[in-house]
Amino acid sequence: MVECPQCSSKLLYRDGIRYLADGSQTQRWLCRNCGYRFSENSNSFKDCQTNKKSIQICAALESVKNLDTATETKTVAGEIGKTFDKATAKGLLLQYELWLQKEGYGEKCRYFDCIRMLINSGANLYDPEDVKRVIAKKKWKNGTKMQVCYAYDSLAKMLKITWQMPTYRQEEILPFIPDEKELDALICAARSKRLAAYLQCLKETFADPGEALRLRWIDVSDNVITINRPVRNHNPRQIIVSNKLIAMLHALPKDSELIFPTDYRNMALCFYNVRRKIAQTQQNPRILKISLGTFRHWGATMVYHQTRDILLVKKLLGHKKIENTMKYTQLIQFKDDEYDVATATTVEEAKTLLAAGFEQQPQAINGVYLFRKPKRFNC
C-alpha cells in the first residue's frame, strides 16, 4: 500500500502519470490528508529535478553574464527582430523568475504566472504590439487583462523595452454569497482533518486563502489567531476564533513550522474534489460556485449585516482602502427564522435593546414595540 511520505496517510488520489528522465513512467499521487503531491519513485525524481533545475539556473546565469551584442540591444526594434520559440521562452521565463526574486517580488509572484499565460497563448514577448493583440483577443476578465499588462510591464523593464501599456478597468462584480449551511456541508464533507481545519479557519478568520496557508503555530494563542504575514496590500490583524477551530487545529500534526505545510494548488485540488462530490450528492449546483475565497466574502457580508459597521469589516478583512470593503455591503435576504426578536414597552427597555444591536420595527402592536436583529452565525 502506498503511503504519503509527508504524513503517512493512505488516503490518496491518483494524479496522473509522471514521465521520468529515462523514459519510464510512474504513478503520481495526491494526498487527501495534507495535499502533498508525490510519485512512487519520488526520491529519484526529486534528485533528477533538483539537478536539472540547478543546471538550468546555472545556464541562465551564465547566459545573463555573457550577453552578446544582439541580446544587449535596448531598442524595441532590436528585440522584435529576435526569434521567439519554445527554447527562448523557457530561458526567458527562468531569467524572469530570478529577476523577480532579485527585485523583491517574492518567490511565488503572480506576475510569473501571467507571463506564462502569455507564452501559452502564443504571444511574442519581444514584440509589445503582438502582446497587446493577444491580450485583446483573449476572453479574460478585464481584471485579469489588467494584471497581465502589469506583469508584462515588469518584464519589459527587465528587457529594457519601451511600450505603451493599454488601459483596462477592472469590472465591479458582486461576490457570490452562499448560505452558511452550504459552507458547513463542505467542511463536514472533507475527509481530511487538515482540509476541514483549513476551511473552518477561512470561515472564522475571514483570511485570504494565501494568508491562511502562511499561518504558523506561533500565531495561535488561546482563542486568538494573529495574521502576521498577510498577502500584498493587506494589513496584519488578530481574530478571536471559536474553541471548535482551536480543537481542530491542535488535532493536526505539529511536524512543521506551518499549520498547513502545503501550497495553494494542492489544497485547491483537494477542495475542488470535495466540492464536486458534495454538489452531486446534494444536487445543489450553487455549491459549485463556492471557491476558497467565498468563505471570506460570506464572513464579511454577515458581519456587516449584524453590525452595520463598515470600518469593523475593513479591519477584519485587513483592507487598506475602504473602497475594497464597500462591495461586501450588498443586501442579502434573511429568512424570518434567522432573526432574534424582542419586545419593549418602556423607553428603558427600548434603549437596552438598541444598545444590544436590535433594530426597531416601524409598527407597534397595542403599545408594544418590536425589535429584531440577525442571528449570530455559527462557528
Model pLDDT, residue 364: 63
In contact, 379 and 241? CB cutoff 8 Å: yes
Apex 57 CA angle, 52 and 58, nearest 5: 100
* Residue 61 falls inside a structural domain: no
Same domain as 123, residue 20: no
Tell me: pLDDT of 77 over 50: no
Instruction: Identify whether residues 189 and 323 lie together within a single domain.
Output: yes
Indicate if 290 and 365 belong to the same structural domain.
no
Whether 4 and 44 share a structural domain: yes
Write down the pLDDT at residue 291. Answer: 92
Question: Is 185 in the same domain as 166?
Answer: no
Residue 71 has pLDDT above 70, yes or no: no
Does 264 score more than 50 pLDDT? yes
Q: What percent of the chain has pLDDT over 70?
A: 81
pLDDT at 265: 83
Q: Are residues 39 and 127 in the same domain?
A: no
The answer to whether residue 58 sits within a structural domain is no
Kindly compute the dihedral angle of the four CA atoms of residues 211, 212, 217, 219, in this order, to the nearest 10 degrees. 50
What's residue 288's pLDDT? 94
pLDDT of amino acid 87: 79
Evaluate whether residue 221 is within a structural domain. yes
Q: Which of 171, 190, 207 is the last residue of a domain?
A: 171
Instruction: Answer yes or no: do 96 and 125 share one domain.
Output: yes
**Residue 154 within any structural domain of the chain:** yes
- Beta bridge partners, 19, equal 25
Domain co-membership, 324 together with 341: no
User: What is the signed CA dihedral for 26, 30, 33, 36, rounded to 10 degrees?
Assistant: 90
Provide the number of structural domains found in the chain. Answer: 4
Q: Count of CB atoms within 10 A of residue 285's CB? A: 9
Residues 287 and 306 in one domain: yes
Q: Evaluate if residue 47 carries a pLDDT over 70.
A: no
Q: Which CATH number is 208's domain given?
A: 1.10.443.10
Residue 98 sits in the same domain as residue 150: yes
H or E element in which residue 313 lies: helix 310-317
Which residues, other chains included, contact 322 with Cβ-Cβ below 8 Å and sequence gap of 6+? 310, 311, 314
Query: Which amino acid does the sequence have at 88?
Result: T
Looking at the fold, whether 366 and 250 belong to one and the same domain comes out as: no
| Close Cβ partners of 133 (under 8 Å, ≥ 6 residues apart) | 123
Q: Is the pTM of this model over 0.85?
A: no
Q: Which span out of 34-43, 53-62, 330-339 was modeled with the highest average pLDDT?
A: 34-43
What's the pLDDT score for residue 196? 94
Instruction: Based on the fold, state whether residues 157 and 185 are members of the same structural domain.
Output: no
Q: Which domain, by its residues, includes 38?
A: 1-50
What would the pLDDT profile of 194-227 be if each residue is shown by its tens digit?
999 999 999 999 999 989 999 999 999 988 999 9
Most confident of the following: 32-36, 176-180, 321-325: 176-180
Task: Read off the pLDDT band of 332 (50, 70, 90).
Answer: low
Residue 95 lies in a domain: yes
Using the 8-state DSSP alphabet, how is residue 319 labeled? B
* Residue 207 lies inside a defined structural domain of this protein: yes
62 located within any domain: no
